[in-house]
Structure 1
Amino acid sequence: MGPSTHLLQQMTIFVTVFTGGGCGMMYYLMQKNFAKSEYYRLAVEHLNTHSTAMASLGAPPLKVHNIHLSDRHNHVDHTSAQLKIPVTGSKMGGYLYTASTRDALLNRWCLQQVTLQLKTGEIIEIFPATESL
C-alpha cells in the first residue's frame, strides 16, 4: 500500500514552504549584494549630495527601494553595470538611472552617468554634475 493522502499533503506543504522560503532568501541576498556594490553606492551618494534633485524629491528623508530584478534596465557584468533604482522622498518619487564601468587597472567602478527621472517626467542630470556651485 502506498503513502497515505495525509502524508502526501504534509509533504506538499513542506516542499512548498521550503521552496518559497528559499526563493525569498535568494531575493533578499541579491538585493543586499546590489546595495553593497560600489556602483550602486556611488550613484546613491551622488544623489544625496545633489541639492536640486533632493529638493525635488522632498528629501531628506530619502528612501531607496529594492530594484526590480526582472527590469530590462538592470544589467551587470564584469565590465559594466546599468541600474534603475527606485527612490522616493516626502514629495515625489522616481527612478535613479546609473551607468558605470569597471576600471581593470584600479579594480574599481567608475560612474559614467547618473540621472534622476521623476514620476512627473522631469529629468535631472546628477553625474556628470550640471548643478552650478
Structure 2
Amino acid sequence: MSRSTSLLQQMTIFVTVMTGGGCGMMYYLMQKNFAKSEYYRLAIEQLNENSTAMASLGAPPLKIHNIHLTDRHNRVDHTQAQLKIPVTGQKTGGYLYTTSTRDSVMNSWCLQRVALQLRTGEIVDIFPRAESE
C-alpha cells in the first residue's frame, strides 16, 4: 500500500512541476510576442524620441517591464491594440499608455495615442505631438 502512495506522490509532484513550467513558458512566450509586435515597438520608439518624457523618467537607461496580462487596459484584437506598458528610469517610473489601430489596406499598425503617466500622476503626452513642439 505504501508503494502505491509513494508512486502517487511522485506523479503529483511531476504533474505540478510540469504544469508550473508550462504556465511559465506560456507567460514568457506571450511577453515575447508583445515585445515583437509592431504596435508595441512603435510606442517604445516614440517614448525614446521624446526628450521630455525621457528626462522625467531619468532615462537613459530606460527599463521596460513585462506587461500585466490581467490588466484591463491591455486589449488586442484584429483592428485595435491598447496597452499599458510599465517603464522605469533612474528617477522614477510609470506606465506608457498606447492605442493603435490596424490599417487593413496597408496591413500595418498606426499609432493613435501614446502617453506616459508617471508615478506622481503627471501625464506627458508623447504622440500625437502638440502643435507647439
Q: Which amino acid aligns with 1:91?
A: K
Q: Which residue of 2 aligns with 1:100?
A: 100
The 3 A distance-change label for structure 1 pair 55 and 118 is: same
Q: Which residue of 2 aligns with 1:34?
A: 34
Counterpart of 2:111 in 1: which secondary structure? strand
Distance between the aligned counterparts of 1:4 and 1:84, measured in 2?
A: 49
Q: Which residue of 2 aligns with 1:49?
A: 49
Q: Which residue of 1 aligns with 2:63?
A: 63
Counterpart of 1:90 in 2: which secondary structure? coil
Distance between the aligned counterparts of 2:81 and 2:3, measured in 1?
A: 51
The offset of 1:129, in angstroms, is 1.0
Distance between the aligned counterparts of 1:7 and 1:125, measured in 2?
A: 59
| Structure 2, unaligned runs of 5 or more | none
Q: Which residue of 2 aligns with 1:16?
A: 16
The more displaced of 27-36 and 123-132 is 123-132
- Percent identical pairs in the alignment equals 80
Distance between the aligned counterparts of 1:131 and 1:35, measured in 2?
A: 30
| Structure 1, unaligned runs of 5 or more | none
Distance between the aligned counterparts of 1:86 and 1:16, measured in 2?
A: 30
Distance between the aligned counterparts of 1:2 and 1:107, measured in 2?
A: 62
Q: Normalization by structure 2: what TM-score?
A: 0.96
Q: Which amino acid aligns with 2:49?
A: T
Q: Which amino acid aligns with 1:27?
A: Y
The more displaced of 112-121 and 2-11 is 2-11
Distance between the aligned counterparts of 1:124 and 1:96, measured in 2?
A: 9
Distance between the aligned counterparts of 1:3 and 1:15, measured in 2?
A: 18
In the comparison of the two structures, how many residue pairs are matched? Answer: 133
The 3 A distance-change label for structure 1 pair 54 and 84 is: same
Q: Which residue of 1 aligns with 2:79?
A: 79
The 3 A distance-change label for structure 1 pair 131 and 46 is: farther
Counterpart of 2:124 in 1: which secondary structure? strand
RMSD: 1.4
Distance between the aligned counterparts of 1:132 and 1:125, measured in 2?
A: 12
Counterpart of 2:45 in 1: which secondary structure? helix
Q: Normalization by structure 1: what TM-score?
A: 0.96
Distance between the aligned counterparts of 2:10 and 2:132, measured in 1?
A: 65
